Each structure stands twice: as structure tokens, then as C-alpha cells.
Structure 1
Amino acid sequence: MFRFIESICFEDYDFPLLKQHQERVNRTFENFYPGQKPFDLNNLLSFKEMPQDGDRYKVRIVYNEIPEEFSITKYSPKSIDSLKLIETPSFDYSFKFENRENLSQLNSLKESAQDIIIVIDGKVTDSSYSNLLFKKKGVYYTPETPLLAGTRRQYLLENGHITEKDINVGNIDEFESVCLINAMLKPGEIEIPIENIIR
């Protein structure tokens, strides 16, 4: 049986992306547990004692039909200054599966880089653990072909802060830098010059 993960940001006494996380849980249930009512994240989290120092924490929920594991850990971004392009056959990570074996195998190929950019059929998708934003003249673009449509990516699209674009191996050099984003990472916190992408 599959298990799934929600990694939810708690910062400044708030869950800023809870709407997008609930929508993803709902989609997961529609696909894997049709007819079952998804659990309510707001209700679940209201019974948990959260840190009250205003810092950033990762709230990790592992679930199938019901939440099975829950943890809270203080979060600080990784230090990443280079990425390696890795071409691979297509595989499914359209839901946030707990099993990340395919991603871990690809990440093991990064050699001297700190992380990877996964490329499928010439199209840029994601890094091993984040969506990507490519910056050109102060504007952020995100690939049309992510492996996983992440919650922060969805929030930024819904609010008009970023735009989807066909980004492929042939046009990467049009951009100045690439950012890693996910539920825990905001635009600009990890931003890497395009020349630091290893081909």
C-alpha cells in the first residue's frame, strides 16, 4: 500500500500554505481512496502543540487513508551552489509518495554538484526535492513539466508571482539563475547562477 507525505511549513505562528496542502491531500484521496472523505489538515493541526518562537518548522505528516506519523523539526535551508543536469526516462511522481527511491537513485548521480535537475525527454522538471524557478530580467518562470506540482509553486502561480514556461535543455542559458522552491523554501533563498549548472 502506498503512503504519502505532506511537509508543511509552520512559521510566524502560521501555516501559510495550508490551503494548497489540503487541496493536494484531496487530490490524493480522489485518486487512491475514491469515496473516502479526506482528513482535514486544519482540524488535525489544531490539536497539535506547535512551537511558539516564530521560527520556521517542518511539520511532516505521513498518511494513507489516515494520518499515521507526525513530526515537527526546526528547518534551515541546505547550502547548494551547483546543480547537475540528469536525463532520465519518464517516471511517475505526480503525487507526494513516501517512497522516493527513483529520486534518490537519480540524486546519487550528482557527482561534485550539490543537487540535480531532472530532465525527461529534454524537458526540465524538478530538482531531487524541490520545484524550480528560472529568473530572467527580474521575472521568475517555472517549468511547465514538473514531476510534482508543489504547494509553494501552486501558491505563487495562483497569485501571479510566477509564470509557467517551456524550459528545456536548449533554452536554459536564456536565464540568469535558478531557484529551488518547496513548501519550506521561498524564492531567492537558494538561488544558483546558470553557469553553475553542470551539463
Structure 2
Amino acid sequence: MSCVIKSISPCFETLKAVNGEIEHLSFHQARFDKTRQELYGSTQKIALLKHLNPPKAFTCKVRVEYAQTIYKIEYLPYTPRDFQTFARVEADIDYAYKYCNREALNAHLRDDVDDILFTCNGELKDTSIANIALFIDGEWKTPLHPLLVGTTRARLLSCGELKAEVLDIKSLQKAEKFAIMNALIGFKIIKKVSIKD
């Protein structure tokens, strides 16, 4: 009798370092711990701070690849990208963990837009690299069921600056403002957003 073991992709954590200081480390540590325990069964804690030594000369993207243990740490210069145009794509994607294998997301990327806005059964999810927020009736709202629970989203929910609820296409049409968020971008309001169906 043979047993087939499902191969689980390693995951990665993306952090932002400014002048050698990691921003919002506690939220990254929490997701790192949760992923290692739930996905790989690791119970031994690893303190990210002890392994990170970002350069002080420039703002950088810190990429930590890991599973049970840390596999690789990279320090890459960070240059912000401009996002204005999005294509809405209906897809049922499982990206509950920040897998290194991003084929399911990347398969939908297009040259004629800056990023993809995913929906599932009409419910708004995320872009390929960021959580989203809509400003409706005087409040910033973010999808209750994102593809990935981002650290910036978690931080803004914890301090009451965001409210999580089910958002759909009608919500998008009602929204006065549209924003994207992740550890590198922060919370970025897109002033001239264009969303194609």
C-alpha cells in the first residue's frame, strides 16, 4: 500500500524596512507563527527579529522564505509601483497562506492593466498583491473574506480604522474611494481608479 504525501509550497513573508528598522514586525511575526503551526505543524517559535538585519542605506523589501524553518532571507531595494487600472476576474482561488507558489494568481495577470481585482461568486476579494478597501457611507470597509489575511489589513482592523464586511460589485459601484494595502504600499488611496470587467 502506497501513501501519497501532498507537497506543500513554502511560504514567504514580505516586510518593509526603513533606515534598517522593520515596520510593524509584530503583525508579521503573528502571521509567520500561525502559518508555521497550521500549515507545517511547527510548534517551536522562531523570532524573526533575531534573523533580520536589513541595510540602513535604503528603504528595502525584506523577503523571508520559510516552512518549518527559514530557508532564505533577501533584502531588495523597494521602488513603489503605480496602480490605477485593474481588471476584474471571477475566480475561485485558494490562497489562504502566503505561498511562494503564486501560479493561481499570476495566471490571470494582464499587460493592459496594473493588477487584477479578484471576485468569487460576485464577492470582492483582493488584488494579486494587496488587500482592498472601499470608502462607503463615511467608513473604510474591507472584504470580510479576502484571499489572504494581510498584515496591514489586520493592523488597521485592530485599531478600528477599517471595518470588515461582505462586499460585492454593487459595493464597488457605491464606493466614493478605492484603496489597496499591503506591508510595502501601506494604505494607498487610488485617486483615478479604473476597473475593467
SS across alignment from 1:187: strand
Partner amino acid, structure 2, of 1:29 = R
- 1:74 matched to 2:77? The reply is yes
| Deviation by residue 1:128-185 (Cα, 9 ceiling, x = unmatched) | 1111111236532111120000001101111111111221012211102211111101
Partner amino acid, structure 2, of 1:96 = K
1:178 touches 1:193 (CA, 8 Å); kept in 2? no
Q: Compute the TM-score of the two structures, normalised by the length of structure 1.
A: 0.88
Give the % identical residues: 25
Which residue matches 2:56?
52
Partner amino acid, structure 1, of 2:56 = Q
Rounded Cα–Cα distance in structure 2 between residues aligned with 1:137 and 1:74? 38
Rounded Cα–Cα distance in structure 2 between residues aligned with 1:172 and 1:132? 11
1:124 touches 1:143 (CA, 8 Å); kept in 2? yes
Shift of 1:33: 2.7
1:59 touches 1:70 (CA, 8 Å); kept in 2? yes
Rounded Cα–Cα distance in structure 2 between residues aligned with 1:112 and 1:155? 32
Which residue matches 1:104?
106
Which residue matches 2:132?
132
Rounded Cα–Cα distance in structure 1 between residues aligned with 2:138 and 2:13? 31
1:29 touches 1:37 (CA, 8 Å); kept in 2? no
Rounded Cα–Cα distance in structure 2 between residues aligned with 1:174 and 1:36? 45
2:122 touches 2:169 (CA, 8 Å); kept in 1? yes
SS across alignment from 2:28: helix
Which residue matches 2:45?
38
Aligned runs of 1:168-183 on 2, under 5 Å?
A: 168-183=168-183
Identify unmatched segments of 5+ residues in structure 2.
1-6
- 1:9 matched to 2:16? The reply is yes
| Deviation by residue 1:88-143 (Cα, 9 ceiling, x = unmatched) | 1x2211100000000001224xx522111000011000001111111236532111
Q: CA RMSD in A?
A: 1.8
- 1:113 matched to 2:116? The reply is no
Q: Compute the TM-score of the two structures, normalised by the length of structure 2.
A: 0.88
SS across alignment from 2:73: strand
Corresponding pairs, count: 190
Which residue matches 2:65?
62
More strand by share: 2
Rounded Cα–Cα distance in structure 1 between residues aligned with 2:44 and 2:72? 19
